[in-house]
Structure 1
């Protein structure tokens, strides 16, 4: 159930937009962070972002207050990844189990693989490409964990997104 927002009070509306932006910035795990600018009259808002190099750029022109909420909802639908929706990232039919991510131990880390993997994870989540296969693991009895055989980049991306459990296949 959505909470009603008092659209007649600009400060209440701004507070609501700030909460929406905080949630988007929490969910959106790329380098850009959204923020809003308010014009001198207090009637129009511009949605901007700051990238990892601290470059500030506008995402929108000046929007009326009533347009901002719709823009942010659409932005969130398009770009934010819900770490609780494993079924949006992974082909769950193939999974033999779901284990806490803390039980998994990566065996390699390739920056290029991680960068590409993030794109694939986002596209799988959005339904653009097929969902990812579960991580392939083997038990590491010495450490009491599971070593990742295939899916190391996916593991690192899942940690960035905030996924706490992963689907696995024991090989």
Structure 2
């Protein structure tokens, strides 16, 4: 209790301290959902609450549905800080295509739905996700724009000449528009 004084007779009046409300479990659950939508690897995060309802633990589930703890039991503020840092380090924001691609080389930026892949290689797609993450984090140079040509049968569609795996990785990340280089060769 904080002590304040009544100016009339200078007697202390005990008033409760105003405390900043703590982060809610709903806010933290929403943050976990946001991270899971932005984190495009295999692990998915979720929260566990202890029996008292005071402490939380961040757990993950991998692609084989094996669950494990990512943290010890923490208070809500600690969980909030952990999630902010986790998101900053591991999540990819699909709205910042300039973090993924070197846009200066592009001839245009097209909606991703206008592109059609011409091949799919599982290993290439897995590598493309790694390269997209590293480019986003500045570990490697940004990716080159996708090389495309006009589709011969469908108007306003383009076939991918080079960058099929990058295109598929970009779709998985949630990127809506992608830089392209229009090629005139067959």
Provide TM-score, normalisation by structure 2. Answer: 0.84
Secondary structure at 1:60's aligned position in 2? coil
Structure number with the higher helix fraction is: 1
Count of matched residue positions in the alignment of Structure 1 and Structure 2: 163
1:83-98 matches, within 5 Å, as 83-98=94-109
* Structure 2 unpaired stretches of 5+: 1-19
Secondary structure at 1:47's aligned position in 2? strand
Q: 1:71 deviation in Å?
A: 0.2
Q: Deviations over 1:81-131 (max 9, x none)?
A: 111100000001101100011110100000000001100000000111110
Q: Deviations over 1:136-163 (max 9, x none)?
A: 0111132221110100000101111111
Stretches of 4+ moved more than 4 A in 1? none
Of 118, 136, 140, 2:129 maps to 118
Cα separation, 2, equivalents of 1:103 and 1:159: 12
Provide TM-score, normalisation by structure 1. Answer: 0.92
1:51-90 matches, within 5 Å, as 51-90=62-101
Match of 1:157 in 2: 169
**Is structure 2 residue 144 aligned with structure 1 residue 130?**
no
Match of 1:168 in 2: 180
Report the more deviating stretch, 39-48 or 114-123: 39-48
Secondary structure at 1:63's aligned position in 2? coil
Match of 2:34 in 1: 23
Cα separation, 2, equivalents of 1:60 and 1:119: 25
Larger Cα-atom Rg: 2
Q: 1:35 deviation in Å?
A: 0.5
Secondary structure at 2:160's aligned position in 1? strand
Q: 1:45 deviation in Å?
A: 1.0
